[in-house]
A and B are shown apart, each in its own frame.
Chain A
Amino acid sequence: MEQSPLALLPELCLLAGAVATLLAGSFLPRQRQWIARLIAVAALLAAAVSAALAFPRHQNGHFGGGDAETVFGAFVLDTATGVTRLVVVAAVLLVIGLGVDELAGTARESETYALLLLGGLGAIVLAATDDLLVLAVAFLLASIPVYALVGMVRSPGAAEAALKTYLLGALSGIFLLLGATVLSGIAGGTAYVDLATGLAGAPAAAVAVGALAVLAGLLFEAGGVPLHQWVPDATQGAGTAAAAFLTTVPKIGALVAAARLVDVLPDALSWPLLVGLLAAATMTLANLAALAQTDARRLLGWSTVSQVGYLLMPVAVVSSTSAATPALLVYLAGYAVTNLTAFAVLAAVPGARSLTDFRGLARQRPWLAAALGISLLSLVGTPPTAVFLGKLTVFTAAWDGGLAWLVVVAALNTLVSLFYYLRWLVEAFRPGDPAPTAGWAHGAALAGALGVLAVGLGAGLVTALTGDGTLG
């Protein structure tokens, strides 16, 4: 077993960066908090470089496949971890980029950056671990910064959202711990290798209770039905940067973690069907709820829940097809950049809350409107954008894994989602006077839009990174 701390260099960079940002922030005057921001960005860049250098070279689509190794008995260094590290770090960088205008000079600027780094670290550990105890710790590390970030804005809406998020999170955390206790009690160990062997002959009902309880915790973190209620409120109530973060980064960690867990569960219960039903419920409910929204943030909040539905499709078939994990990673990467681009547009027009506030955007800010169009069309799944590539691979994997009905449900949901995404886009092209725009977020939106197109057009490179998805 490898015990070299250097194997965790990207994580150490984030941790050290969070501490340094916090310390620097408490000594710096408010006008010079940008130094704390620079420290955070430097830590992220260092994490990105070290993650890229440590990227596993020979990979295949399976968890722990190729030359993957496990350090400290609980942290898997495989393709999934490598991709998660890169996507999370890039996502946090983009969040900081789109949040600069909103955060600069505020009372809690450096604390926000530190929380972003810690939350990102939590998401990576969540995705990388193959041990239930570390999973529980990672759950706390990924969710506690989210509570704080939601409540950072001192508005009644934010307070309510923070409380809601906290209560639901605490409940889900207890579920997760309960499930971990039950599973480790049955299997006689907390590591997933022990689960795979120990659960094989165990009573199906006990396994089901334990696994469902752990999944409940992960569903809260991802924002999937039935533990999704906090997402729209938090997205609407929190600041834009915090909303962008909490709808993107925790999902990445939680969904990869869910896939790792479902992968080792025994066949006594039909997990593909169960997770497939959760996926169908998540996307359908969220899409129907999004139809009626008139607030852009709340609409986007429901949209992120519906995207979790599509993301749960490869989780459902993770043990039946080798295409599932690459599909999940491709979709996560595409979703992250697309969702953050949409939030960057929100951040670029800070005064706009309802959809009608975006009127005149195309006339006054054609580039911003183009970024909005690209991100929304990508969320729908129009080629050649990032989420189209995700949907293509995810649909293929789900069908190949025997869930053709779920693919049909997902296709119909995509049609429903088109309706509300278009409603927003149409407003942007109507005549009107939009609110003034912010510079940094404008840049982040353009960079994000380019990223969306790059992932879609450079699909060959992206899929090469996420592993060989060739089926059969």
Chain B
Amino acid sequence: MLSSIIFLPLVAAALLAVLRVPDRVARWTWVAVTTADLVLVGVLIARYETPTDGGLAFEERARWIPSVNSSWHVGVDGLSVPLLALTAVVFCACAVYGLREDRRPRQHAALFLALQTTCLGLFAAQDLIVFFLFFDLSIVGMYAAIAGWGHGREAGRSALQFFLYTFLGSLALLLGFIGLYLAADPHTFDIPELIAAAPLQDHPVAGGFVLAALLVGLAVKTPTIPFHTWLPPAHTDASAIGSAVLAAVLLKMGTYGFVRIAMPALPDAWRGAAWVVLAVGIASVLYGALVALAQTDVKRMIAYTSINHMGYVVLAVGAAGLAGTGTAARELAVTGAVTQMVSHGLLTGALFLLAGVLHDRTGSYAMRDYGGLARTAPLWTGLFAVAAFGSLGIPAFSGFIAEFQVFAGSIGTTAWAAIALPGILITAALFLRALQLLGTGLPGGRSIGFSDVRAVEAVPVTGLLLLSLAIGVLPWLLLDLITPASAVLVDLVGR
């Protein structure tokens, strides 16, 4: 079942790439396939029961490269199910939004369907080579999306920068994987086996180097400072859908790698590096928020808030590695981290799609070009306001649940985590400022004659916001999935 969820979009992508169907058919096929995949993921969640032994559900394994003990091994647990669901939701929303795409819609749909397979595959991977395969292919796919459908003048340049930077990360990751493989006895790329063996437990130096390689690889993708410089240009020049997928799903690959591979397979080294990770997390939170505050371009601003929001995740996983502190607090931090991944995906996806509407109408992201959009485009302003408030962490939305847990857990382990608290305040300020610049006042500049969101734009954004609301109101829906897995993870890190 899991394999068919992963490969359904790829099969559809191959068909769309080969068959010269009319544009209309291509667009609707994209919507239909992503909806079908979403339904399948829904069925998977309905049938999912937390594995009692801390293992995996829906496990599938097939021979691939037996000589290096690498196999097609997929399976899910409480850490991966939420991200699989997020991927399916975001891509479905993007497919609906993409109904208005008029630049080579057939190839566009095929590309994003293929990209969906790489994201789903990565979150289900239980083998380092499978993980790396999807990690690298997601870079190639995103590069094509920015270079081929980006709308900035510098799209090619930004895409190249994105590719080179994240490819550097993936090479560091590959080195770390090879290090783990060679350390394990017998040598293996299988993630559960590596976690069970924790091969570098008694080798602080080798473990430190391998973890450093993994950290660099994952930090580039997340991105944390100082590896974030590729993100703002990539977002500025990507299309709305490209940005939404990049921020909502691809960034999660980095932080997911922390909880899936780096933490449980290298517990000793992780505990040793926990303070560094924590510091990087705090710095990302504050730096991302401050730089976002200084932006005049709404899309760049959202991009920098991504660095801020992903900083909370890094902060929390760092706190989870601090030894000698309460287990409950560390579990809370991990749960908060995974919740934040989902929450950021939903809200930032919505924000980027809304920013795309601005560019579609007027070709400008500059906040000063607008004003008074509440009059000319009340629906757009309303949706943007909801997404902004959700993103700054107002209660009743997922962002609050996530950030509350991140801070309750992290400050529970160390009071130093409180340094990151002003991040929330700055984020609130910058979102309110953006809302004020765009929405309030008398319509002026490009706001005049601005046509409000159409159905194909409003429906996906509303869907994402409703899900965020649902998690905010009924958090147990999500937390029941995550909590057992974070208990297992904290247990593994504490070894």
A interface residues, Cβ below 8 angstroms from B: 326, 377, 382-384, 388-389, 392-393, 395-396, 399-400, 407-408, 411-412, 414-415, 418-419, 422, 426, 429, 459-460, 463-464, 468-472
A407 touches B175 (CB 8 A): yes
With A377-B140, A429-B148 known to touch, is A419 a contact of B164 (CB < 8 Å)? yes
Q: How far is the CB of B172 from chain A (nearest CB, A)?
A: 7
Q: Which residues of chain A are near B171, meaning CB under 8 Å?
A: 411-412, 414-415
Interface window among B26-34, B129-137, B407-415: B129-137
Q: Which residues of chain B are near A383, meaning CB under 8 Å?
A: 129, 132-133, 136-137
A393 touches B68 (CB 8 A): yes
A-B contact pairs, 28 of them (CB 8 A): A383-B132, A383-B133, A392-B129, A392-B178, A395-B174, A395-B175, A395-B178, A399-B179, A411-B171, A412-B171, A415-B171, A418-B163, A418-B164, A426-B147, A429-B147, A429-B148, A459-B64, A460-B63, A460-B64, A463-B65, A463-B66, A463-B67, A463-B68, A464-B66, A464-B67, A469-B67, A469-B68, A470-B69
Contact of A471 among B132, B148, B172, B187 (CB under 8 A): B187
Does B156 make an interface contact (CB < 8 A)? yes
Q: Which residues of chain A are near B280, meaning CB under 8 Å?
A: none
Contact of B175 among A377, A389, A411 (CB under 8 A): A411
Measured between alpha carbons, how far is A392 from B137 in the docked complex, in Å? 16
Measured between alpha carbons, how far is A392 from B175 in the docked complex, in Å? 9
Measured between alpha carbons, how far is A390 from B403 in the docked complex, in Å? 44
Interface digits, B142-175 against A, CB 8 Å rule (1 contact, 0 not)? 0000011000000010001001100110011011
A326 touches B67 (CB 8 A): yes
Q: How far is the CB of B161 from chain A (nearest CB, A)?
A: 11
Q: Which residue of A lies closest to B187 (CB)?
A: A471
Q: Which residues of chain B are near A407, meaning CB under 8 Å?
A: 175, 178
B interface residues, Cβ below 8 angstroms from A: 63-69, 129, 132-133, 136-137, 140, 147-148, 156, 160, 163-164, 167-168, 171-172, 174-175, 178-179, 181-182, 185-187
Q: How far is the CB of B333 from chain A (nearest CB, A)?
A: 33
Contact of A384 among B67, B133, B156, B181 (CB under 8 A): B133
Measured between alpha carbons, how far is A408 from B175 in the docked complex, in Å? 8
B163 touches A392 (CB 8 A): no
Q: Which residues of chain A are near B68, meaning CB under 8 Å?
A: 392-393, 396, 463, 469-470
Measured between alpha carbons, how far is A463 from B64 in the docked complex, in Å? 10
B178 touches A399 (CB 8 A): yes
A396 touches B168 (CB 8 A): no
A460 touches B164 (CB 8 A): no
Q: Which residues of chain B are near A463, meaning CB under 8 Å?
A: 65-68
Measured between alpha carbons, how far is A383 from B171 in the docked complex, in Å? 12
Q: Which residues of chain B are near A392, meaning CB under 8 Å?
A: 68, 129, 174, 178
With A383-B129, A429-B148, A471-B187 known to touch, is A389 a contact of B182 (CB < 8 Å)? no
With A418-B167, A422-B163 known to touch, is A389 a contact of B65 (CB < 8 Å)? yes
Chain B contact residues, majority secondary structure: helix
Q: Which residues of chain B are near A472, meaning CB under 8 Å?
A: 185-187
With A429-B148, A460-B63, A468-B67 known to touch, is A411 a contact of B133 (CB < 8 Å)? no
Measured between alpha carbons, how far is A326 from B68 in the docked complex, in Å? 11
Q: How far is the CB of B7 from chain A (nearest CB, A)?
A: 13
Contact of A459 among B65, B69, B147 (CB under 8 A): B65
A460 touches B66 (CB 8 A): yes
B167 touches A415 (CB 8 A): yes
A414, A419, A471, most chain B CB atoms within 10 A: A471
Measured between alpha carbons, how far is A271 from B137 in the docked complex, in Å? 37
Q: Which residues of chain A are near B174, meaning CB under 8 Å?
A: 392, 395, 411
Q: Which residue of A lies closest to B133 (CB)?
A: A383
A460 touches B187 (CB 8 A): no
Q: Which residues of chain A are near B65, meaning CB under 8 Å?
A: 389, 459-460, 463
Q: Which residues of chain B are near A471, meaning CB under 8 Å?
A: 182, 187
Q: Which residue of B lies closest to A418 (CB)?
A: B167
Q: How far is the CB of B257 from chain A (nearest CB, A)?
A: 16
Q: Which residues of chain A are near B187, meaning CB under 8 Å?
A: 470-472
Measured between alpha carbons, how far is A468 from B171 in the docked complex, in Å? 25
Measured between alpha carbons, how far is A418 from B187 in the docked complex, in Å? 29
Measured between alpha carbons, how far is A247 from B179 in the docked complex, in Å? 32
Q: How far is the CB of A450 from chain B (nearest CB, A)?
A: 13
Measured between alpha carbons, how far is A386 from B451 in the docked complex, in Å? 51
Measured between alpha carbons, how far is A388 from B175 in the docked complex, in Å? 13
Measured between alpha carbons, how far is A382 from B144 in the docked complex, in Å? 14
Measured between alpha carbons, how far is A471 from B66 in the docked complex, in Å? 12
Measured between alpha carbons, how far is A468 from B186 in the docked complex, in Å? 14
Q: How far is the CB of B388 from chain A (nearest CB, A)?
A: 36
* New A-B pairs, 12, CB < 8 Å, besides A426-B160, A460-B67, A463-B66: A382-B137, A392-B174, A393-B68, A395-B175, A414-B171, A422-B160, A463-B68, A464-B66, A469-B67, A469-B68, A470-B69, A472-B187
Measured between alpha carbons, how far is A472 from B167 in the docked complex, in Å? 30
Q: Which residue of A lies closest to B66 (CB)?
A: A460
Measured between alpha carbons, how far is A221 from B309 in the docked complex, in Å? 55
Measured between alpha carbons, how far is A415 from B167 in the docked complex, in Å? 7
Q: Which residue of B lies closest to A330 (CB)?
A: B67
Q: Which residues of chain A are near B132, meaning CB under 8 Å?
A: 383
Q: Which residue of A lies closest to B181 (CB)?
A: A396
Q: How far is the CB of A289 from chain B (nearest CB, A)?
A: 19
Q: How far is the CB of A418 from chain B (nearest CB, A)?
A: 6
Measured between alpha carbons, how far is A383 from B163 in the docked complex, in Å? 15
Q: Which residues of chain A are near B182, meaning CB under 8 Å?
A: 396, 399-400, 471
Measured between alpha carbons, how far is A419 from B133 in the docked complex, in Å? 20
Measured between alpha carbons, how far is A377 from B141 in the docked complex, in Å? 12
Q: Which residues of chain A are near B66, meaning CB under 8 Å?
A: 460, 463-464
Measured between alpha carbons, how far is A377 from B139 in the docked complex, in Å? 12
A388, A392, A418, A459, most chain B CB atoms within 10 A: A392
Q: Which residues of chain A are near B172, meaning CB under 8 Å?
A: 411
Measured between alpha carbons, how far is A395 from B129 in the docked complex, in Å? 14
Q: How far is the CB of B256 from chain A (nearest CB, A)?
A: 18
Q: How far is the CB of B258 from chain A (nearest CB, A)?
A: 21
With A392-B129, A464-B66, A469-B68 known to touch, is A382 a contact of B136 (CB < 8 Å)? yes
B164 touches A415 (CB 8 A): yes
Measured between alpha carbons, how far is A167 from B140 in the docked complex, in Å? 43
Q: Which residue of A lies closest to B71 (CB)?
A: A460
Measured between alpha carbons, how far is A388 from B187 in the docked complex, in Å? 19
Q: Which residues of chain B are near A415, meaning CB under 8 Å?
A: 164, 167-168, 171
Measured between alpha carbons, how far is A28 from B147 in the docked complex, in Å? 52
Q: Which residue of A lies closest to B206 (CB)?
A: A404
Q: Which residues of chain A are near B160, meaning CB under 8 Å?
A: 419, 422, 426
Measured between alpha carbons, how far is A429 from B149 in the docked complex, in Å? 12
Measured between alpha carbons, how far is A326 from B65 in the docked complex, in Å? 13
Measured between alpha carbons, how far is A451 from B64 in the docked complex, in Å? 17
B178 touches A396 (CB 8 A): yes
Q: Which residue of A lies closest to B63 (CB)?
A: A460
Q: Which residue of B lies closest to A459 (CB)?
A: B65
